[in-house]
Structure 1
Amino acid sequence: MNDVFSQQVGHIMWGISAASDIGSYSYVYGKFEKDQYKKITSWTRAAAMAGRTGGYIFAQLLILTHIGNYMTLNQMNLYILCIALVFCFLLPRVSWKQVVNNIAIEQSKKQAQKSHSPLPTSFSEYVLYRLKKLKSDFIKVYSNPFILKWSLWWAMAICMSYQVSLYAQTLLGQVQVGDDNPLNGFADAIYTFVATVFILLTNRFPINWDKWGETVLVVTSLLDAVFLALFSQTNSVYLMYFCYIFYRSCYQVMVTIAQWNIA
């Protein structure tokens, strides 16, 4: 297997893994009522960031101590993913009846709405119910300027983040020519740790995102642009680390905020 093909296969697998993120959050949201989405989103994303922090630190120490190499990390990654897949099958199922029950609870809270469509009583009715709701929900959701704003920002931000994460490693590699012990793993560990802390903090403050959402998005995006420009022009690896940590931390926090606003 040649190197290019290996990279292509790796990126395909990574793409599948990234896409499954939607399924994991759908599973989580299916287990809880809507008024708990903000807390659940914050804690699950914070947990993911904390896990990444530990992984980055472990990987960096493994390389620095020469206990293993990058092939070792790839092999460990494969084994851990296989174990995670087994755990996925062991998770409790989310019954369609539970989803219907959550819908019923949500409808009962909307006292102003006079009538509701009848809820399904069988799985086949549930499937038809969800299919019929797709069009109406699509129109309802994306005719809402608030949700549309956060959705567009999220879509653009995630594409930019993927590009930056790949571009950053290449650019760091050019500056680190001759450095046998780069500290890129520690930089990733720091940004995930910072993101974890701020994700948990934002969950504790009742912020009116209808009022402050656009301001936060504009200010954050401008700061990101400034730090990315600085990141691309400097030859100081430590300044590059700082810019990278700032950008990636802001991205993770803002995506969490966008996710719970959309959910």
Structure 2
Amino acid sequence: MEISQLYPTISLCVYGFFSNLRPSEPFLTAFLMGPDKNLTETEVVNEIYPIWTYSYLVLLFPVFLATDYLCYKPVLILQATSFVVTYAILLKAQGVMAMQLLEFFFGLATATDVAYYAYIYSVVEPAQYQRVTGYCRSITLLGSAAGSLAGQILVSVGQVALLYLCVITLVSSVLAFIAPWFLPMPSKSLFFHLNSGAKERVKSGHLDGQKHLDKAEDTERVPLKMNDVVMVTKTSDDSSNSLVDVLRILWKDFLQCYSCPTLLAWSVWWALATCGYFQVINYAQALWEKVLPSQEFEIYNGYVETVSTLLGASAAFGVGFVKISWAVWGELSLCIFSVVMAVAMYVMDTVRNIWVCYISYIVFRATYMLLITIATYQIAVNLSMQRYALVFGVNTFIALLLQTLLTLVVVDTAGLGLDVFTQFLVYAGYFTVIAVVFFLAGLYKLVSKRCSKTDGETNIKDSDSLSRDSPPISEQLPQIPDT
């Protein structure tokens, strides 16, 4: 990797580490419901936490467009600012409305996460995409695990008050805020700011079409189509695509991408499972607080988050070495693992033992991280960078839309406003429904393949029979008399 590419990669990794180093994160619910904030369970679970879901959904698409139009760096700075504001409010403000504002800014920070990975693709060569993506993902997981572990050690060993964990998290966010300012401003764009030649290429379709997407049926892992990535250096001749042009390009790509059955199947699971995953990690601490109140007993949320993160990362890393025909067994595998996630939620809800809850959560989170990695591999095959970002953005948007509906109906006081135990029973049922859907899809796929194979063998036999019964070709031709 060249020095010009190494510098922004290191800077982005520094930013990713400190922005995810949050010792207070595993103890957020305990802090809000403790003496520092003195909020009730209903206020935290049913009135405050849902704001993150709503703000994330509303901001995702505008931020997606703004990230490309502003060339990434300004949006990274906005994300860093949002983290600082979030934890400053957490530290200083009081009351339900203040915490709802906190959740809005955290939703903004989450929505702008697209800029973190999009930036690096704009400053490194396509050949380095896989490597730098691995660096960035690894460092964020390392930061998250280190923050959780540090928080738990400070609480359990050092008897540090939860308020000081919030101080450390704020300091870490301030350190992260410094890094994006030193990043070079990218000179490339995916959709906006293309020169006329690139614009025509994008409008006419930068992939070879459906045949590339259909290859995903039989391809396990194929590198991205690096030569199809349209990221053009700005020059004085460049013109910008209008918003209408960009939306037209996105709509055309959307229709072509989701016409591929394999990509559609993995995307459906992505959206459904991510919706449930967000709900579980959002409200798991509230359930643990009910099972074992932090004001009466010592809690170990930090260790649980650390172990689940590291185990999930290990599972995600190890899946790359597993040789399975996902094109054949993908739907049934999703069914089996969805059952595992449903059982984990059901056990967490019904047994109500804190250690069982912790283990169930670890199993649930590690399973999700394993499957989302497989889904990433399967969706990314033969997609150019534009379509890669589009498909993942659409999947996340659908997940958030579903989560918003689920939150409105199940969690929000405007809906049913269920208690946290009943909520997790609903989530167990939700993952059971996902398992049933993919069991039926996998069964249909296997039956269809078997039927098509049988039909193919029948056609071959008929062809052989016809060739045996027919006279030689020379006898079928009219005889030309000798002259």
Q: Which bracket does the TM-score occupy, shorter chain normalised?
A: 0.7 to 0.9
Does residue 163 of structure 2 align to residue 163 of structure 1? no
Find the counterpart in structure 1 of residue 139 from structure 2.
47
Deviation at 1:213, TM superposition (A): 2.3
- Determine the C-alpha separation between the residues in 1 that align with 2:128 and 2:323: 14
- Determine the C-alpha separation between the residues in 2 that align with 1:164 and 1:122: 43
Q: Is the 8 A contact 2:288 2:354 kept in 1?
A: yes
Q: Is the 8 A contact 1:195 1:252 kept in 2?
A: yes
Q: 1:206 to 1:23 in 2, by over 3 A?
A: farther
Q: How many residues are aligned here?
A: 256
**Structure 1-normalised TM-score?**
0.81
Higher relative contact order (CA 8 A, sep 6+): 1
One-letter amino acid matched to 2:278: Y
More off after superposition, 34-43 vs 148-157: 34-43
Find the counterpart in structure 1 of residue 113 from structure 2.
21
More off after superposition, 180-189 vs 62-71: 62-71
Q: 1:223 to 1:26 in 2, by over 3 A?
A: same
Q: 1:227 to 1:131 in 2, by over 3 A?
A: closer
What does 1:126-205 align with in structure 2 at a 5 Å threshold?
127=241, 130=246, 132-177=248-293, 179-205=296-322
Partner residue of 2:188 out of 83, 96, 103: 96
One-letter amino acid matched to 1:60: Q
Find the counterpart in structure 2 of residue 232 from structure 1.
349
Unaligned runs of 5+ in 2: 1-92, 213-227, 380-387, 389-483
Unaligned runs of 5+ in 1: none
More helix by share: 1
Q: Is the 8 A contact 1:199 1:256 kept in 2?
A: yes
One-letter amino acid matched to 1:73: L
More off after superposition, 243-252 vs 212-221: 212-221
Q: 1:207 to 1:93 in 2, by over 3 A?
A: farther
Partner residue of 1:214 out of 295, 311, 331: 331
Q: Is the 8 A contact 1:62 1:68 kept in 2?
A: yes
- Determine the C-alpha separation between the residues in 2 that align with 1:30 and 1:2: 41
More off after superposition, 204-213 vs 85-94: 204-213
Deviation at 1:219, TM superposition (A): 1.2
More off after superposition, 133-142 vs 252-261: 252-261
- Determine the C-alpha separation between the residues in 1 that align with 2:359 and 2:335: 21
Q: Is the 8 A contact 1:46 1:195 kept in 2?
A: no
- Secondary structure of residue in 2 paired with 1:96: coil
RMSD between superposed Cα atoms in Å? 3.5
Q: Deviations over 1:14-67 (max 9, x none)?
A: 211221222222223445566766665555333322221111000111112345
Q: 1:13 to 1:171 in 2, by over 3 A?
A: same
Identical columns (%) = 26
Find the counterpart in structure 1 of residue 412 from structure 2.
none
One-letter amino acid matched to 1:80: S
Q: Deviations over 1:180-214 (max 9, x none)?
A: 32001101110001012112222344554323322
